[in-house]
Chain A
Amino acid sequence: MTSSLLSVRGLKVVVGGRHILHGVDLDVAPVGVTALLGRNGAGKTTTVRGILGLVPRTGSVIYDGLETNGLTTHRIVQRGIGYVPEDRGIFASLTVAENLRLAERDPDPAYDLVHELFPELRQRARQAAGTLSGGQQQMVAIGRTLLNRSNRLVIADEPTKGLAPRVVTEVAVALERAAQAVPILLVEQNLALVRRLADHCAVLADGRTAHAGPAAELLADADKSRTLLGVGRRADTAPAPVAPAAPATGGDH
């Protein structure tokens, strides 16, 4: 992948004196979905936060041909990144409409698309976001990134975590739809969803990149996906298409 949209090399992050990332390499293709996989605590969220400059990091992060190291988060994001954080990053005291309005960067935000994918958000526009269900909050979080057509990369950190199966489907449809227009870096533990959406994948283990390649290839190799991802059963026969991984608690910052 010489023409990566996002190219991470030797990303290291130290938080509170603790080395969390020891050298992550990652390439995000300019089209389709690239999955970032790994067991709980492997460093996926920290990698994403490092890319966005939300934690101090060293190493190289080239986005759209520009080294972003040293840029502040808002400058990096202004170059066209939509971010769905692991904890959803919803402003609880603001209404749904205000949460969306805050995310507007385009002069002509795509409310039609957001409301088509998530009609509930239109009905609940004046409701305080803190009173929404987890699934509805995730819709707001994803809606925020779809609002800006100028986004050239969406980074979604476990967007289906802890959601009911019906909502997982809804979120998956939205991501699938979004992926037609914008490349996505998707952190996801739901392998059925990865299989459905992702073209490429990278796997982290203990703060390092342990594997990178086509997603289908990894998921077809039961032994490899078991060692890398620690899935209990054979990944390629997983029956429930939307069974969420065991909800991970803690570590959400």
Chain B
Amino acid sequence: MSTVVLLSVTGLGLGALYFLVASGLSLIFGLMDVLNFAHGALLSIGAYATWWAASHSFGYPLALLFGTAVGTLASVALELGLIRPLYRRPREQVLATVGVGLAVPALLSAIWGADARTFPVPASLGGTFTLLGATVPVDRLVLIGAALVVLLALKAFLGRTRHGLVVRAGVEDRAMVTALGIDVRRAFTLVFAIGGAAAALAGGLAGLYFGSVDPTQGSSLLIFGFVVVVMGGLGSVSGAAVACVVVGLVQQFANYYSTAGLGDLSVVVLLAALLLVRPSGLTGRLA
């Protein structure tokens, strides 16, 4: 029983990271048809910025805020500097994001080395607590809590604000949004800011979860982010929320009850099976 509890909480914690990556990916793809391969780089930027701040005695919450801010700025710069000029050339757009996705890890390892750097985990978050007889690390709760807050904030943004309305409409029909006199490119920058913030937050939290940061973390989390996005339905935040729970849990349980590594494989099998049954993902719609 205690193993099941631990696996569940850990799976949910991992799922929380996937959600933070996937929600932005999903919004960006839904609105702009851009598959953002630089999303993992944004996560890494957030992770390193958080690690840097935390190692300079910022205190974890402040360091996390700093990392998120840096990732947000990087994401906005990416949209304005690379994506927007290539607006009518989707192939080049994707290539540009791939380029950034490769360049950033290279840059990070050039500056701080390719090896993992120990993440200064604060004592208050390094402990454990007992849940239904299982000893569970506290950081899992931080991850789950952060993802829930982001989920609720995103839903409020999409459901209750004018900008959110423009994003939801743009996911359906971008041209018609402009035909109503709305500058949809502003929404592009906005979803990049939101997606970048969530990814960078995931980076800072990943440092806490893994206890270290390294240049490849972003890319490996990005893969599961893509899986979650496809499973949840492109452009759907709620779909991503459901899918990340499924992926996180399946991965944890499969890794534990079979040989390690099979968890990742089972996620892929799950994705293939789902796509065969429901090609548009779990929901196929936004919000």
Contact = CB atoms under 8 A, between A and B. Distances in A.
Given A74-B184, A93-B285, A93-B286, A52 B179 contact: yes
B169 A102 contact: yes
B285 A105 contact: no
A59 to B, nearest CB: 20
A118 B166 CA distance: 24
B231 to A, nearest CB: 19
Interface in B158-195: 162, 165-166, 168-169, 172-173, 175-184
A181 interface: no
Contacts of B168: 91, 93-94, 98
A102 B166 contact: yes
Contacts of B285: 93
Contact of B180 (A92, A93, A98, A102): A102
Contacts of A93: 168, 172, 285-287
B172 A73 contact: no
B283 to A, nearest CB: 11
A180 interface: no
Contact of A94 (B162, B169, B182): B169
B40 to A, nearest CB: 29
Contacts of B175: 54, 73
B177 to A, nearest CB: 8
A93 B173 CA distance: 11
A83 B182 contact: no
Contacts of B172: 91-94
Contacts of A91: 168-169, 172-173, 176
Contact of B176 (A85, A101, A105): A85
Name the residue among B166, B173, B175, B176 with the largest chain A CB count within 10 angstroms: B176
B165 A94 contact: yes
A72 B286 CA distance: 27
B179 A85 contact: yes
B179 A102 contact: no
A89 B178 contact: no
A94 B176 CA distance: 13
Interface string B263-287: 0000000000000000000000111
Name the residue among A78, A85, A93, A98 with the largest chain B CB count within 10 angstroms: A93
Interface of B: 162, 165-166, 168-169, 172-173, 175-184, 285-287
Interface of A: 52, 54, 72-74, 77-78, 81, 83, 85, 89, 91-94, 98, 101-103, 105, 144
Given A73-B179, A91-B169, 17 more contacts: A52-B179, A54-B178, A72-B178, A73-B178, A74-B182, A74-B184, A83-B179, A91-B173, A93-B168, A93-B172, A93-B285, A93-B287, A94-B172, A101-B165, A102-B166, A102-B180, A102-B182
